[in-house]
Structures are given as C-alpha cells and as structure tokens.
Amino acid sequence: MSNGSDLMDRLVSLCKRRGFVFQSSEIYGGTGSVWDYGPLGVELQRNVKEAWWRAMVHERDDIEGLDAAILMHPRVWEASGHVAGFTDPLIDCRACKARFRADQIESAQCPRKPSRRPGEFEDCSLTEPRQFNLMFKTFMGPVEDSAAVIYLRPETAQGSYVNFHNVLNASRQRVPFGIAQVGKAFRNEITPGNFIFRTREFEQMEMQFFVEPGTDDEWFEYWKAKRMEWVQSLGIRAEKLRFDEHGPDELAHYAKRAFDIQYEFPFGWSEFEGIHNRTDYDLRRHQEYSGRKLEYVDPVDRNKRYIPYVIETAVGVGRVMLAALVDAYHEEEVDGEQRVVLRLHPRLAPIKVAVLPLIRKDGMPEMAERIQKEFRAAGINSFYDDAGSIGKRYRRMDEAGTPFAITVDGESMSGNTVTIRDRDTLQQERVSVDGLVEFIRKRIG
C-alpha cells in the first residue's frame, strides 16, 4: 500500500510525462507555485469549464454569463474590504527565514528539522504574527507612484457586483437571478503548495445569485445541494466528498454563512468549492463607495425596493482538475503486467477516442485515417497512433484517460468493422464502421 505522498508523487510524475501539467518557466528553475497546462491538461481544463458553464448557464434560464476584466478600479478593492481585510497572519522564522501562516502553525513543520513533529518550534526564533495582504499590486500607466496602484483581482466576484445593473438591464432578468464568470484570479499565498491545489495564479468558476432578503437561507440550501450534485456528475466518488461548515471565526468578512465542499485528497480533506451567503455586503459597499444606487426595484410592485442578498458558489478549475485526477488514478495488474489508468469521466477525458491501425500496411492506416476524419468533422477529440505494439498504444491511452480505443485490423478490411476497447472493463466489442461516430457520441455524454 502506498501512502498519500507517494500517490501525489506518482500523479505529479504522470502529469508531467503525459503532458497534463508542467512547472512554469521550468528551464529557469521554475516559478513558485505557478503551473502550465500541457496538451492533455488544457483539454481537461476546457472540459471542466465547459461542464460548469453548461450546468450553470446554458441549462438554466435564470443565470447570465459575464467576462469582466482582471484589472478593476482600485476603489473596488477598498469597497469590497480586500485592501483592509484580505490578509493572512504571517509568521517568519528569524533563523531559517521560513514563513508560515499563523492559523496553520500547528500543522506546519520546521523545514530545517524535518524529523520534528508538526507544530514543534521550541528553539526556533519565530516572530509575532503580522497581517500580510494577499493581493498582487502593480501600476497602471507609465508612472510608478501611489496614485497609479492597481491590483490583480483576487476573485472574479467583484466584476459581477459592479456589473449588477448592467446585466440586469441588458438581460431583463428579475430577482432571483445569477451572474456566472470563469476567469483568472491571483493571490500572493504565503504557503502555496500541494501541486495545483494552492497556486498564486489560478482560474475560478464563480456564480453570484441575487435573491430577495429573507429568502437567502432557502437559496443557500438549494445551491449547496446543486453544487454537490454537479461534482458527482463528473464521476467523482461520493464517499470522497463531504460538506464542512465554517465556524464563526473562520467566516470571511462578508459572509453570514459558508460551507465548503471538501474532497479527500492524498494530503487530507481539503476545500475545493465554497458556497457562501455574502448577504448584501458587497452591493451595499459598492453603492456607498461609488455613490451609484445598486437597489433592485420590483417591476410589479415598484414600492418594493431592496439591495439583494447574494449566494455565491466559488470553485477553482485547478482544484476540480486535481480532484478528478486523484479520483481517476488507478494502478492495477492486467495479465501479469502493471497498468496505470486514469478513469476520467468521458466528459472530462482530454481525448475521447483513439484510432489505431493494428499494423502499418494492408490498407489499415488509410482506413484508420478515414475514421479519424469523421471524428474530426463531428467535433469529437480523437487521436491517431500507429507507433509501437498495440499493447503499448493501449497503455499510453490508459494513462491519458482515453475511454475508447478503436482498432482497425485484418477483419476490418473485408467486413467494414472495427473493435472498440473500453478503458475500464477492457472488453472489446466488434462494431460496424457505419454509425461509429454516433456509438462514441452516445457514450461520452
């Protein structure tokens, strides 16, 4: 049996070998906690975002999409409370210069003395905690002075709040309705790590649902259930998922109530999505700081005016990818040989189907190429491979998480049939070439 850190090491190595994830600027020694997604990683990432967008925007009539800019007016972050309050308590070790989050010190370890138990720092020279703001600062325009300071957004949500009236008027929605966004966010985390779990640049999928005050508790429960349903629809095992409620001292400055959906990663149960009741905090503050009214006026009863409450669902693309990869990673023995297989849900799989001529002659490559062309025309991501033994080619596709492999063999020529191998059951089925695209389409959802 392997422990969690072995499993993470093997997953990280698979991700590099097969082109899911590379360290950023690797040839220069890497950038701390920033990652690049390779050819398979970018497909997985697109599929995660596509599944989210479909569930949150396209399949509903009460949520609108938005893509707000990363750079926003600096007053946004004063109004939102991020300039004053988006901080973590930082502790330094004067001796070895290590840095820790004060709220995680009990589980932290002195990097110089790895034999010590977590939380043991007797003869270390730790400073008192001081507040460290997690927002990246830069300057707008050619002058680097305090008047030109601007921030990289640490969350996409504020773009939805400042556009509340724009979206409301343009879409003619009525409360309750939501605004969904997928986009980059940046946080100068003190203790990033665990591969793509906590990074300094990451992508979020956030939805702000505006509701009438007093109905917020009900909507909160609704979104909790919906989001758990969504994660499970990606094939992530239910027994590896749970809710965790934030205690009063863990609540963010804007939140009335907050639940995390946690996944049991190899390094322990950790958050990958948050569901928050942000009350009317953000809209009220923007109304105050901008001087613009951000009320909602009920179109039927025009005397009914209020600042809506917001239920937010916020999840990181990288964290969904990591949970899906961990959940899918299996090592097993097949016919006396070890195989590594990623049992990714077909909707998430970067390549849906491999097309493999058994040998490179007798018309097999030409027939395989014709089949691949059909997949291309149908918008189904496929992969043609004629290099190496068929066993090796199957193994490569198993590691890439490809759910189906089509083999063109001797019988294909005469009977116009191919075999389809199922990644998980290893069953091979002979089917007619006519209708192959529909056969695969039905199975990839």
Residues that bind ligand ATP (CB under 6 A): 155, 187, 189, 198-199, 202, 204, 271-274, 314-316, 318-319
Query: Is the CB of residue 368 less than 8 Å from the CB of residue 355?
Result: yes
- Phi/psi at 338 (5° precision): -80, 135
Q: Which is nearer to ligand ATP, 319 or 423 (CB)?
A: 319
User: Other CB atoms closer than 10 Å to residue 37's CB: what's the count?
Assistant: 21
Quote the Cα angle for 245-246-247, to 5°. 115
How far apart are CB 18 and ligand ATP at their closest, in Å? 22
DSSP 8-state assignment for residue 198? B
Judged by DSSP in three states, 191 sits in coil
The token duo for 1 is 């049996």
How far apart are CB 316 and ligand ATP at their closest, in Å? 3
Q: Which is nearer to ligand ATP, 176 or 316 (CB)?
A: 316
How far apart are CB 204 and ligand ATP at their closest, in Å? 5
The token duo for 246 is 């934030």
Task: Give yes or no for a cis peptide into 176 (omega within 30° of 0).
Answer: yes
How far apart are CB 43 and ligand ATP at their closest, in Å? 20
Distance separating alpha carbons of residues 122 and 203, to the nearest angstrom:
39
How far apart are CB 145 and ligand ATP at their closest, in Å? 29
Distance separating alpha carbons of residues 193 and 109, to the nearest angstrom:
14
- Cα dihedral 235, 61, 209, 56, rounded to 10, equals 20
How far apart are CB 99 and ligand ATP at their closest, in Å? 15
How far apart are CB 134 and ligand ATP at their closest, in Å? 9
Q: Which is nearer to ligand ATP, 155 or 280 (CB)?
A: 155
Query: 258 vs 203, 245, 248, 332, CA distance in Å?
Result: 21, 6, 10, 39
Residue in this structure with the two tokens 């928050």, named with its chain if needed: 276
The token duo for 364 is 């097999």
Distance separating alpha carbons of residues 143 and 151, to the nearest angstrom:
15
How far apart are CB 74 and ligand ATP at their closest, in Å? 20
Distance separating alpha carbons of residues 117 and 111, to the nearest angstrom:
11
Quote the Cα angle for 329-228-234, to 5°. 40
Q: Which is nearer to ligand ATP, 100 or 375 (CB)?
A: 100
Judged by DSSP in three states, 434 sits in coil
Q: Which is nearer to ligand ATP, 64 or 312 (CB)?
A: 312
Q: Which is nearer to ligand ATP, 11 or 436 (CB)?
A: 11
